[in-house]
Amino acid sequence: MALKTMREAISEALWEEMERDERVIIMGEEVGVWGGTYAVTKGFHDHFGPERVCDTPIAEGVIVGAANGAALAGLRPVAEMMTINFAFLAMDQIVNHSAKLHTMFGGQMTVPIVIRAVGGGGRQLGATHSQTPDVAFAHFPGLKVVSPGTPHDAKGLLKSAIRSIDPVMFIENATLYQVRGEVPEEEYLEPIGVSKIQRAGSDVTLISYSKMLQTSLQAAESLAGEGIEAEVVDLRTLRPLDMGAVVDSFKRTNRAVIVEEGWRSYGVGAEVAARLYEEAFDYVDAPIRRVAQREVPLPYNRELEQQMLPNMYDVIEAVKGVL
Protein backbone atom coordinates (compact mmCIF):
# COMPACT_ATOMS: atom_id res chain seq x y z
CA MET A 1 0.00 0.00 0.00
CA ALA A 2 1.15 3.52 -0.77
CA LEU A 3 1.89 6.06 1.94
CA LYS A 4 -0.43 9.03 1.51
CA THR A 5 -1.35 12.09 3.52
CA MET A 6 -4.78 12.62 4.98
CA ARG A 7 -5.29 15.43 2.46
CA GLU A 8 -4.45 13.12 -0.47
CA ALA A 9 -6.73 10.37 0.87
CA ILE A 10 -9.71 12.71 1.21
CA SER A 11 -9.07 14.24 -2.21
CA GLU A 12 -8.86 10.80 -3.81
CA ALA A 13 -12.15 9.74 -2.22
CA LEU A 14 -13.92 12.80 -3.60
CA TRP A 15 -12.37 12.43 -7.06
CA GLU A 16 -13.18 8.72 -7.34
CA GLU A 17 -16.77 9.19 -6.22
CA MET A 18 -17.29 12.05 -8.69
CA GLU A 19 -15.91 9.87 -11.49
CA ARG A 20 -18.09 6.96 -10.40
CA ASP A 21 -21.36 8.87 -9.98
CA GLU A 22 -22.26 12.00 -11.95
CA ARG A 23 -24.80 12.94 -9.29
CA VAL A 24 -21.99 13.81 -6.86
CA ILE A 25 -21.32 17.55 -6.73
CA ILE A 26 -19.16 19.73 -4.50
CA MET A 27 -20.19 23.13 -3.22
CA GLY A 28 -18.63 25.59 -0.80
CA GLU A 29 -16.46 28.63 -0.33
CA GLU A 30 -13.35 28.61 -2.57
CA VAL A 31 -13.72 24.91 -3.45
CA GLY A 32 -13.59 25.63 -7.21
CA VAL A 33 -11.17 28.03 -8.82
CA TRP A 34 -9.05 28.32 -5.66
CA GLY A 35 -9.00 24.54 -5.09
CA GLY A 36 -10.16 24.59 -1.48
CA THR A 37 -8.83 26.34 1.60
CA TYR A 38 -6.74 23.24 2.39
CA ALA A 39 -6.13 22.32 -1.29
CA VAL A 40 -8.32 19.22 -1.05
CA THR A 41 -10.23 20.06 -4.26
CA LYS A 42 -7.29 21.43 -6.23
CA GLY A 43 -7.80 20.62 -9.93
CA PHE A 44 -11.43 19.55 -9.50
CA HIS A 45 -12.90 22.69 -11.07
CA ASP A 46 -10.89 22.31 -14.28
CA HIS A 47 -11.67 18.60 -14.60
CA PHE A 48 -15.33 18.41 -13.57
CA GLY A 49 -16.44 21.92 -14.47
CA PRO A 50 -18.26 24.69 -12.58
CA GLU A 51 -21.63 22.89 -12.59
CA ARG A 52 -20.24 20.09 -10.42
CA VAL A 53 -17.66 22.07 -8.42
CA CYS A 54 -19.53 25.16 -7.33
CA ASP A 55 -18.02 28.19 -5.61
CA THR A 56 -20.61 29.69 -3.28
CA PRO A 57 -21.09 32.97 -1.44
CA ILE A 58 -19.82 33.24 2.14
CA ALA A 59 -23.16 32.07 3.53
CA GLU A 60 -23.17 28.71 5.29
CA GLY A 61 -26.95 28.61 5.68
CA VAL A 62 -27.26 28.99 1.92
CA ILE A 63 -24.61 26.33 1.25
CA VAL A 64 -26.30 23.64 3.37
CA GLY A 65 -29.80 24.75 2.42
CA ALA A 66 -28.99 24.54 -1.29
CA ALA A 67 -27.28 21.18 -0.74
CA ASN A 68 -30.38 19.88 1.05
CA GLY A 69 -32.52 20.94 -1.92
CA ALA A 70 -30.11 19.35 -4.38
CA ALA A 71 -30.17 16.11 -2.39
CA LEU A 72 -33.98 16.07 -2.30
CA ALA A 73 -33.95 16.55 -6.07
CA GLY A 74 -31.74 13.50 -6.67
CA LEU A 75 -28.15 14.76 -6.49
CA ARG A 76 -25.51 13.74 -3.94
CA PRO A 77 -23.96 17.02 -2.80
CA VAL A 78 -20.81 17.36 -0.74
CA ALA A 79 -21.10 20.70 1.05
CA GLU A 80 -17.85 22.04 2.47
CA MET A 81 -17.66 24.21 5.57
CA MET A 82 -14.37 26.11 5.53
CA THR A 83 -14.32 25.50 9.30
CA ILE A 84 -16.76 23.70 11.56
CA ASN A 85 -17.12 26.93 13.51
CA PHE A 86 -18.98 28.38 10.52
CA ALA A 87 -21.42 25.46 10.66
CA PHE A 88 -23.07 27.24 13.59
CA LEU A 89 -24.48 29.61 10.98
CA ALA A 90 -26.19 26.64 9.33
CA MET A 91 -27.46 24.84 12.42
CA ASP A 92 -31.11 25.15 11.40
CA GLN A 93 -30.41 23.67 7.98
CA ILE A 94 -28.26 20.88 9.44
CA VAL A 95 -30.19 19.76 12.53
CA ASN A 96 -33.75 20.70 11.55
CA HIS A 97 -33.67 19.89 7.85
CA SER A 98 -30.80 17.55 6.89
CA ALA A 99 -31.25 15.39 9.97
CA LYS A 100 -35.05 15.32 10.22
CA LEU A 101 -36.72 15.46 6.81
CA HIS A 102 -36.55 11.70 6.20
CA THR A 103 -38.41 10.76 9.39
CA MET A 104 -40.69 13.81 9.55
CA PHE A 105 -42.22 12.82 6.21
CA GLY A 106 -42.46 9.10 6.88
CA GLY A 107 -39.49 8.09 4.75
CA GLN A 108 -40.94 9.57 1.56
CA MET A 109 -37.67 11.42 0.90
CA THR A 110 -33.98 11.01 1.62
CA VAL A 111 -31.30 13.66 2.11
CA PRO A 112 -28.03 12.08 0.92
CA ILE A 113 -25.83 15.04 1.80
CA VAL A 114 -22.25 15.03 3.12
CA ILE A 115 -21.13 18.09 5.07
CA ARG A 116 -17.34 18.26 5.21
CA ALA A 117 -16.19 20.44 8.09
CA VAL A 118 -12.69 21.21 9.34
CA GLY A 119 -12.31 21.42 13.12
CA GLY A 120 -9.80 21.45 15.93
CA GLY A 121 -7.32 23.84 17.49
CA GLY A 122 -3.58 24.30 17.47
CA ARG A 123 -3.29 26.60 14.46
CA GLN A 124 -3.39 30.01 16.18
CA LEU A 125 -6.75 30.93 14.71
CA GLY A 126 -8.27 32.32 17.89
CA ALA A 127 -11.05 31.08 20.13
CA THR A 128 -13.90 31.37 17.62
CA HIS A 129 -12.08 29.45 14.85
CA SER A 130 -10.47 26.68 16.90
CA GLN A 131 -13.32 24.76 18.49
CA THR A 132 -14.04 21.02 18.50
CA PRO A 133 -17.84 20.93 18.81
CA ASP A 134 -18.20 17.42 17.38
CA VAL A 135 -20.43 16.25 20.22
CA ALA A 136 -22.92 19.05 19.49
CA PHE A 137 -23.70 17.54 16.09
CA ALA A 138 -23.59 13.95 17.39
CA HIS A 139 -26.38 14.90 19.81
CA PHE A 140 -29.00 14.98 17.05
CA PRO A 141 -30.67 11.76 15.82
CA GLY A 142 -30.93 11.48 12.05
CA LEU A 143 -27.46 12.87 11.42
CA LYS A 144 -24.45 10.58 11.12
CA VAL A 145 -21.20 12.05 12.45
CA VAL A 146 -17.87 10.68 11.22
CA SER A 147 -14.39 11.81 12.30
CA PRO A 148 -11.47 9.67 11.07
CA GLY A 149 -7.96 9.66 12.51
CA THR A 150 -5.97 7.96 9.73
CA PRO A 151 -5.68 8.47 5.94
CA HIS A 152 -6.87 4.88 5.37
CA ASP A 153 -10.08 5.43 7.32
CA ALA A 154 -10.60 8.94 5.96
CA LYS A 155 -10.76 7.69 2.39
CA GLY A 156 -12.87 4.61 3.10
CA LEU A 157 -15.32 6.42 5.38
CA LEU A 158 -15.75 9.41 3.06
CA LYS A 159 -16.59 7.12 0.15
CA SER A 160 -19.16 5.34 2.33
CA ALA A 161 -20.58 8.69 3.45
CA ILE A 162 -21.06 9.87 -0.13
CA ARG A 163 -22.87 6.64 -1.01
CA SER A 164 -25.08 6.74 2.09
CA ILE A 165 -28.72 7.76 1.76
CA ASP A 166 -28.45 9.51 5.13
CA PRO A 167 -27.00 12.96 5.89
CA VAL A 168 -23.42 12.70 7.16
CA MET A 169 -21.34 15.26 9.03
CA PHE A 170 -17.76 14.40 8.05
CA ILE A 171 -15.38 16.17 10.43
CA GLU A 172 -11.70 16.57 9.55
CA ASN A 173 -8.99 17.91 11.85
CA ALA A 174 -6.86 20.48 10.06
CA THR A 175 -3.69 19.47 11.89
CA LEU A 176 -4.01 15.93 10.46
CA TYR A 177 -3.85 16.87 6.78
CA GLN A 178 -0.12 16.16 6.61
CA VAL A 179 -0.28 12.89 8.59
CA ARG A 180 0.80 9.96 6.41
CA GLY A 181 -0.50 6.42 6.44
CA GLU A 182 -0.99 3.36 4.27
CA VAL A 183 -3.83 3.63 1.78
CA PRO A 184 -4.75 0.75 -0.58
CA GLU A 185 -4.49 1.43 -4.31
CA GLU A 186 -7.62 -0.62 -5.04
CA GLU A 187 -11.09 0.65 -4.17
CA TYR A 188 -12.36 -0.04 -0.66
CA LEU A 189 -15.01 1.19 1.75
CA GLU A 190 -14.98 1.51 5.52
CA PRO A 191 -18.30 0.97 7.34
CA ILE A 192 -19.86 3.93 9.13
CA GLY A 193 -20.73 3.21 12.75
CA VAL A 194 -18.00 0.66 13.48
CA SER A 195 -15.19 1.34 15.95
CA LYS A 196 -11.75 -0.17 15.39
CA ILE A 197 -8.78 -1.35 17.46
CA GLN A 198 -5.75 0.52 16.10
CA ARG A 199 -3.23 -0.96 18.54
CA ALA A 200 -3.43 -4.12 20.64
CA GLY A 201 -2.62 -4.07 24.35
CA SER A 202 -3.47 -5.74 27.65
CA ASP A 203 -3.08 -3.25 30.51
CA VAL A 204 -5.38 -0.32 29.75
CA THR A 205 -7.81 0.76 27.02
CA LEU A 206 -7.30 4.15 25.38
CA ILE A 207 -10.44 5.35 23.58
CA SER A 208 -10.17 8.25 21.15
CA TYR A 209 -10.83 9.48 17.62
CA SER A 210 -9.57 11.98 15.03
CA LYS A 211 -6.40 13.86 16.11
CA MET A 212 -6.48 12.33 19.58
CA LEU A 213 -6.11 8.90 18.01
CA GLN A 214 -2.62 9.94 16.90
CA THR A 215 -1.92 11.39 20.35
CA SER A 216 -3.10 8.16 21.99
CA LEU A 217 -0.93 6.03 19.71
CA GLN A 218 2.10 8.17 20.57
CA ALA A 219 1.34 7.80 24.27
CA ALA A 220 0.93 4.04 23.87
CA GLU A 221 4.33 3.73 22.22
CA SER A 222 5.95 5.74 25.01
CA LEU A 223 4.22 3.66 27.69
CA ALA A 224 5.37 0.46 26.00
CA GLY A 225 8.94 1.53 26.78
CA GLU A 226 7.99 1.33 30.46
CA GLY A 227 6.36 -2.07 30.11
CA ILE A 228 2.79 -0.79 29.96
CA GLU A 229 0.80 -2.11 26.99
CA ALA A 230 -2.12 0.12 26.06
CA GLU A 231 -4.83 -0.97 23.64
CA VAL A 232 -6.04 1.90 21.46
CA VAL A 233 -9.64 1.89 20.23
CA ASP A 234 -10.63 4.38 17.53
CA LEU A 235 -14.30 5.38 17.66
CA ARG A 236 -14.18 6.78 14.08
CA THR A 237 -17.93 7.53 14.20
CA LEU A 238 -19.68 9.49 16.96
CA ARG A 239 -23.20 8.79 15.70
CA PRO A 240 -24.00 5.98 15.49
CA LEU A 241 -21.60 5.29 18.38
CA ASP A 242 -20.32 1.70 18.28
CA MET A 243 -19.29 0.48 21.73
CA GLY A 244 -18.55 -3.07 20.61
CA ALA A 245 -14.75 -2.89 20.37
CA VAL A 246 -14.65 -0.49 23.32
CA VAL A 247 -16.51 -2.82 25.67
CA ASP A 248 -14.63 -5.92 24.47
CA SER A 249 -11.30 -4.21 25.10
CA PHE A 250 -12.39 -2.89 28.50
CA LYS A 251 -13.45 -6.36 29.60
CA ARG A 252 -9.88 -7.51 28.93
CA THR A 253 -8.00 -4.58 30.48
CA ASN A 254 -10.49 -3.46 33.18
CA ARG A 255 -9.20 0.12 32.94
CA ALA A 256 -9.93 2.93 30.50
CA VAL A 257 -8.80 6.44 29.59
CA ILE A 258 -10.90 8.40 27.08
CA VAL A 259 -9.07 11.04 25.08
CA GLU A 260 -10.79 13.83 23.14
CA GLU A 261 -9.83 17.28 21.91
CA GLY A 262 -13.18 18.80 22.82
CA TRP A 263 -14.07 20.14 26.25
CA ARG A 264 -14.50 17.61 29.03
CA SER A 265 -17.92 18.68 30.35
CA TYR A 266 -20.84 17.06 28.49
CA GLY A 267 -18.37 15.66 25.95
CA VAL A 268 -17.78 12.50 23.97
CA GLY A 269 -15.77 11.10 26.87
CA ALA A 270 -18.70 11.60 29.23
CA GLU A 271 -20.97 9.59 26.93
CA VAL A 272 -18.45 6.78 26.44
CA ALA A 273 -17.72 6.56 30.17
CA ALA A 274 -21.43 6.41 31.01
CA ARG A 275 -21.97 3.59 28.55
CA LEU A 276 -18.98 1.66 29.90
CA TYR A 277 -20.34 1.93 33.43
CA GLU A 278 -23.77 0.81 32.19
CA GLU A 279 -22.60 -2.04 29.97
CA ALA A 280 -19.48 -3.33 31.74
CA PHE A 281 -19.73 -2.27 35.39
CA ASP A 282 -18.60 -5.65 36.72
CA TYR A 283 -15.29 -5.26 34.87
CA VAL A 284 -14.33 -1.88 36.38
CA ASP A 285 -11.08 -2.09 38.38
CA ALA A 286 -10.41 1.66 38.51
CA PRO A 287 -12.38 4.85 37.87
CA ILE A 288 -12.52 5.71 34.17
CA ARG A 289 -10.42 8.77 33.40
CA ARG A 290 -11.04 11.46 30.78
CA VAL A 291 -8.41 13.60 29.04
CA ALA A 292 -9.69 16.67 27.24
CA GLN A 293 -9.07 20.31 26.39
CA ARG A 294 -8.85 22.81 29.24
CA GLU A 295 -12.20 24.53 29.61
CA VAL A 296 -11.39 28.01 28.39
CA PRO A 297 -11.75 29.72 25.00
CA LEU A 298 -8.50 28.82 23.23
CA PRO A 299 -5.89 31.60 23.40
CA TYR A 300 -4.32 32.99 20.24
CA ASN A 301 -0.81 32.88 21.72
CA ARG A 302 0.92 29.73 20.47
CA GLU A 303 2.42 28.64 23.80
CA LEU A 304 -0.80 29.24 25.73
CA GLU A 305 -2.88 27.49 23.09
CA GLN A 306 -0.70 24.39 23.20
CA GLN A 307 -0.95 24.29 27.00
CA MET A 308 -4.75 24.21 26.75
CA LEU A 309 -4.88 21.29 24.29
CA PRO A 310 -4.52 17.66 25.43
CA ASN A 311 -1.18 16.05 24.64
CA MET A 312 0.71 12.79 24.95
CA TYR A 313 1.93 13.58 28.46
CA ASP A 314 -1.62 14.18 29.69
CA VAL A 315 -2.57 10.74 28.40
CA ILE A 316 0.44 9.08 30.01
CA GLU A 317 -0.36 10.71 33.37
CA ALA A 318 -3.97 9.52 33.17
CA VAL A 319 -2.91 5.97 32.30
CA LYS A 320 -0.55 5.80 35.25
CA GLY A 321 -3.36 7.13 37.41
CA VAL A 322 -5.72 4.28 36.54
CA LEU A 323 -2.91 1.74 36.97
**Dist. CA 94–CA 100, nearest whole Å:** 9
CB 116 within 8 A of CB 154: no
CB atoms within 10 A of CB 48: 20
Most distant CA pair in the chain, distance? 59
CB 233 within 8 A of CB 226: no
Q: In what order do the strands lie in the sheet with 168-173?
A: 53-55, 24-28, 76-81, 114-119, 168-173, 144-146, 237-239
Identified catalytic residue from 8, 60, 231, 305: 60
**Dist. CA 260–CA 295, nearest whole Å:** 13
C-alpha separations of 235 from 74, 122, 210, 245, 248 in Å: 31, 22, 9, 9, 13
Tell me the angle at which helices 244-253 and 268-279 cross, rounded to the nearest 10 degrees.
60
The strand pairing partners of 119, in sequence order, are 173
Catalytic residue check, 60: yes
C-alpha separations of 263 from 238, 266, 271, 308 in Å: 15, 8, 13, 10
The strand pairing partners of 183, in sequence order, are 2
Give, as one character, the DSSP assignment of residue 202: S
Identified catalytic residue from 45, 97, 102, 129: 129
The gap between the terminal CA atoms of the chain, to the nearest Å, is 37
H or E element: which one contains 233?
A: strand 230-234
Catalytic residue check, 295: no
Which of helix, strand or coil describes residue 183? strand
The residues annotated as belonging to the active site are: 60, 129
